[in-house]
Amino acid sequence: MSVCKRIVLITGSSRGIGAETAKGFAKERASLCITGLPSQKDELTEVAKVCKENGSPHVLEVAADLRKQEDMDLLMNATIKTFGQLDVLVNNAGIFMSVDLEGYTSEDFDKIFSVNVKAPIYLTKLAKPHLSKTKGNIVNMCSIARKNYAPNRLLYGMTKTSIAYLTKTTAADYAMDGIRCNAVCPSGIATQLFENSFSKEQAPFFLESSTATVRGRLLQTNEVSDLIRFLASDKATMITGELVNIDGGYLLSKHA
């Protein structure tokens, strides 16, 4: 399977890691389906423009709310109708909440699990018959939060623990179909999601704890994108079921 013929579907691709990943795949001349919320349509169009400039032969934009099953059906159907196949699914879309056990609400729980867990599970189910034909693979967005038990990370950490389990079980269940599944597990990342997730009072504490690494800084989106594209590439054909930390040694510094 040549790189130029790869079809890659990336959720949450209007900004942050998803946008950077799309731009990276575009440089490899992959055709792309990129997606974001309807309210992010302008941002999605800008990402598509850069991807085309970077060398992608075809970029499909689909506005979709991953909390809605019909939108996910539309997303997958549009991808297959347009390209006829799927080689890589990147389950990148996600949201963050800074809440503890006493502060969370039922609505908070439903919202974050719907986006961070339910959507990747359902899209993986939809993708299986197509990935089995191409012997493709899945890369999930996990986090070091799955094993870093910090204050106010209850719901977010629970969703990423679920993604870790999803990754392992998908890799085992789909191995006989020739489908690989791995996950990247970043520490704090310099994205708009980070900026929107913390108050001015919370941010300094999080930055201080997140920069206790060999580099002394937050991750950059391109560093995570590089890892995603490596795991999706033919260089990683014997890697499956792995949760790959990319944290500059943060977990080592915490003896986690």
156 is catalytic: yes
The DSSP H or E segment spanning 171 is: helix 154-174
Among residues 149, 156, 165, 174, the one annotated as catalytic is 156
Question: What b/e string do you get for 74-92 counting C-beta neighbours within 10 Å, with b at 16 or more?
Answer: ebbebbbeebebbbbbbbb
Strands 137-141 and 88-91: parallel
Residue 90 contacts residue 33 (beta carbons within 8 Å): no
Place of tokens 């729980």: 109
Residue 85 contacts residue 5 (beta carbons within 8 Å): no
Place of tokens 């967005």: 141
- Enumerate helices (H) and strands (E) in the chain, giving the number of each: 10, 7
The catalytic site residues sit at 156
